[in-house]
Structure 1
Amino acid sequence: MREQSGRIVGALARSFSSLDIAEEAVAEAVEEALRAWRKEGIPPNPGAWLTQAARRNALDRVRREKRYREKLAGMVPAQDPTPSAPEASSGEIDERLPLLFGCCHPALAPEAQLALTLRAVCGLTTAQIARATFSTEPATAQRIVRAKRKIGATGIPLRIPDATDRAVRLDIVLTIVSVMYNEAHFVGGGDATADRDLADDAVWLAGVVAAALPREPEAHGLLALLLFHRARESARSVDGDLVLLVDQDRSSWDASLIARARVELERAARLHRPGRWQLQAAIAACHADADTAAATDWRQVLVLYDLLLGYDASPVVRLNRAVALDQVGAPAAALTEVDALERDLSRAHLWHAVRAHLLRRLGRDDEALAADLRALELTANEAERRLLAARTGR
């Protein structure tokens, strides 16, 4: 489904000039496949089966709408303007890329961008998307419908932007893929076990973008970052409990994924256009290079965060830089930096948790306990709650 769904939606959207028709036709084809293949077995060419079924569904929908419009207008049926079948890809461009850029158009709200990407490009069902984004099925369905209507009503193009507009639009696409990966790891009411399907979808989609845009260093940077994170997955949780980076069994990190991440990061570096995703991947590489937590080159990490601020001075990046500042022996300076972020991050449990750690390092235990208790109030993830509860003795 990852390989075929987005391709078919993209091809049908181009042929029928409607994302709504294309996406609905493919969704119906998937349902048909689930029923038919269970009885008859998987066909020799599943992609061709899905394409044929989806095209038939799209044609049926177009004809129904055409007849409905004719009846409303009392028109005599004209010659059937049936669109031709989707042409085969020339191989020069991945059909999923124009679709992905359309789904991540800045005219759409971020939550709509994410939901539509998961549906049209990755082929997830409404129920899966609702589960992945901590929403309800009705709300998710309405979000997707509204996004598709807006694309149709405002004429949002399903195409890769020109070079002058690509940098900003590409960053939105990469951000959505990053959000997909993060959503897989912090499920409200869940433990530390990641939604592996959603995490794999995000890594796969980052690979699609990097392969289709080989001259875009930030695409390779994001892929490297996600591969570094994915390599630590097996050590990140034990029996549903969260294991912090400093306590992880590094021998269980996936060496093959780390090697792939380094290759992608080197590809990005050879293009000589640094950016925020490459710098985040370089920070992850510093952790991967250290055999033990104590061997981490925190001064190099701090330098990379200083560079990253030139591309992304968001509160979260500044919070992470404060952690690095503490690690090089400046907890008081780190706490000053964290306190300056109160207005932006006081509703985020991680801000309170980091602040508690720094207060404890400075011997201000009562204040540290209060900060940890506030962090406990603000998180809904059960693994994080257990970790914070252990710290507070609650």
Structure 2
Amino acid sequence: MNESLLRELVPSVIGVLVHRGADFASAEDAVQEALIRALQTWPDDPPRNEKAWLVSVAWHRFIDLARADSARRGRELVVDAEPPPGSASEVDDTLALYFLCAHPTLSSSSAAALTLRAVGGLTTRQIAAAYLVPEATMAQRISRAKRKLNGLSLDQPGDLSTVLRVLYLVFNEGYTGDVDLAAEAIRLARQLASATDEPEVSGLLALMLLHHARRVSRTGPGGRLVPLADQDRTRWDTTLIAEGVDILQTALARDRLGEYQAQAAIAALHADAPTAADTDWVQIVEWYDELLGLTGSPVVRLNRAVAVGEADGPQAGLAALAGVDPGVPRHTAVAAYLHERAGDTERAAALYAEAAHAATSVPERDHLTREAARLRQSLL
């Protein structure tokens, strides 16, 4: 059974139920119940029309849940089991659901978690892992967010900046996680870019395309992490790079710089370099300065230290790193890299080992462990 198809259908099926009069929380619950039944029955008895099957089962499940809730409250619920005319079954409500989940009444973290669950198709466990919180905690956060959306319709505006953050979260989960949502995030970003003249939407789309162009070269045999400098650039998708650069240039011409445009500019400079040695690190530092001014992010400050180390030498990079909070993720790994560049092999090996111990993913841990072993071997 094609589970990716199920994830693609979830937003539109939820949208159909909402258009028929279901509140968002109940619609999402009913669709999840329908998905469970699909997983149980489709392998032996696949439907002719997957979406119609999900809509029918989810709608009847919504009716059952509504009647049960009505009985518990001691009131009679008058509702037709058959859908009203104009079911909007062919309408793609995915973007509308993104905006609903990004409603101003929700915090950014709750909006992101809810969207990843209801629209992105991620499980509560996957979202909890992304936020580094217990699954039960994330389940409660999502339930509270759903309750806040009761009574809201799909045509009420959401917060665009939150939608963009969520889209990027979905893209990154698809890029590095066990659920491939990168292509879906790009599809949605294209739709959003065609519906608004906000240059940051185009900046995000360009950023996704430029990162996606390098996807196949990021890992080696067995899922081994391949750093940017070691990637086979002949495997990069030049069509996606050209498209990303073109979209970025059009956005920058609007002279309304935002963080996604700045990030895309950095990615474009990497993509433009025929080899790692040809990278224009001076321009990259300048863009990191712009990005730091826009965000003040400690992660940006950390990445800037790496760029400074490449542009002005490892000692300059270590001086820039001294101004970064040591608690920022990957701080130790960056320190290891810069110390190695500066010739302090023994210190670099120890830092790589320390960074491996703190790594949050298996590929990153294995890569840092190999780096530590490589340097230790050179010291023998």
> Cα gap change, 1:339/1:127 in structure 2, threshold over 3 Å: closer, same or farther?
closer
Q: Would you say how many aligned residue pairs link Structure 1 and Structure 2?
A: 367
- Measured after TM superposition, the shift of residue 339 of structure 1 is 0.9
- Cα separation, 2, equivalents of 1:270 and 1:319: 28
Identity of aligned residues (%): 41
Q: Per the alignment, in what secondary structure is the counterpart of residue 34 of structure 2?
A: helix
**Aligned pair 1:228/2:199, yes or no?**
no
- Cα separation, 2, equivalents of 1:41 and 1:294: 54
- Cα separation, 2, equivalents of 1:124 and 1:274: 32
Residue identity in the other structure for 2:310:
Q
> Cα gap change, 1:255/1:105 in structure 2, threshold over 3 Å: closer, same or farther?
same
- Cα separation, 2, equivalents of 1:120 and 1:281: 28
Alignment of 1:107-126 (within 5 A): 107-126=105-124
Residue number in structure 2 paired with 1:173 = 163
Residue identity in the other structure for 1:68:
R
Aligned with residue 52 of structure 1, among 51, 56, 72: 56
Residue number in structure 2 paired with 1:362 = 342
Decide which moves more: 238-247 or 306-315: 306-315
> Cα gap change, 1:25/1:349 in structure 2, threshold over 3 Å: closer, same or farther?
closer
CA contact (8 A) 1:11 1:87 kept: no
Structure 2 alignment gaps of length 5 or more: 1-5
- Measured after TM superposition, the shift of residue 247 of structure 1 is 0.6
> Cα gap change, 1:309/1:139 in structure 2, threshold over 3 Å: closer, same or farther?
closer
TM superposition score normalised by structure 2: 0.83
TM superposition score normalised by structure 1: 0.80
- Measured after TM superposition, the shift of residue 272 of structure 1 is 4.1
- Measured after TM superposition, the shift of residue 9 of structure 1 is 1.4
- Cα separation, 1, equivalents of 2:85 and 2:334: 53
**Aligned pair 1:30/2:1, yes or no?**
no
Alignment of 1:336-347 (within 5 A): 336-342=319-325, 346-347=326-327
> Cα gap change, 1:308/1:124 in structure 2, threshold over 3 Å: closer, same or farther?
closer
Aligned with residue 305 of structure 1, among 288, 293, 317: 288
Alignment of 1:1-394 (within 5 A): 1-16=6-21, 18-43=23-48, 45-70=49-74, 77=76, 80=78, 85=84, 87=86, 95-105=93-103, 107-126=105-124, 129=127, 138-152=136-150, 159-161=155-157, 169-184=159-174, 194-195=177-178, 197-211=180-194, 213-239=195-221, 240-269=223-252, 271-342=254-325, 346-393=326-373
- Cα separation, 2, equivalents of 1:272 and 1:283: 17
- Cα separation, 2, equivalents of 1:237 and 1:48: 39
Residue number in structure 2 paired with 1:190 = none
- Cα separation, 2, equivalents of 1:297 and 1:14: 51
- Cα separation, 2, equivalents of 1:269 and 1:335: 32
Q: Per the alignment, in what secondary structure is the counterpart of residue 73 of structure 2?
A: helix
CA contact (8 A) 2:207 2:264 kept: yes
- Measured after TM superposition, the shift of residue 276 of structure 1 is 0.8
- Cα separation, 1, equivalents of 2:7 and 2:196: 20
CA contact (8 A) 1:105 1:156 kept: no
CA contact (8 A) 1:235 1:250 kept: yes
Q: CA RMSD in A?
A: 3.2
Q: Per the alignment, in what secondary structure is the counterpart of residue 195 of structure 1?
A: coil
- Cα separation, 2, equivalents of 1:135 and 1:307: 32
- Cα separation, 2, equivalents of 1:389 and 1:320: 21
Structure 1 alignment gaps of length 5 or more: 72-76, 187-193
CA contact (8 A) 2:108 2:162 kept: no
- Measured after TM superposition, the shift of residue 315 of structure 1 is 0.7
- Cα separation, 1, equivalents of 2:161 and 2:332: 29
Residue identity in the other structure for 1:214:
T
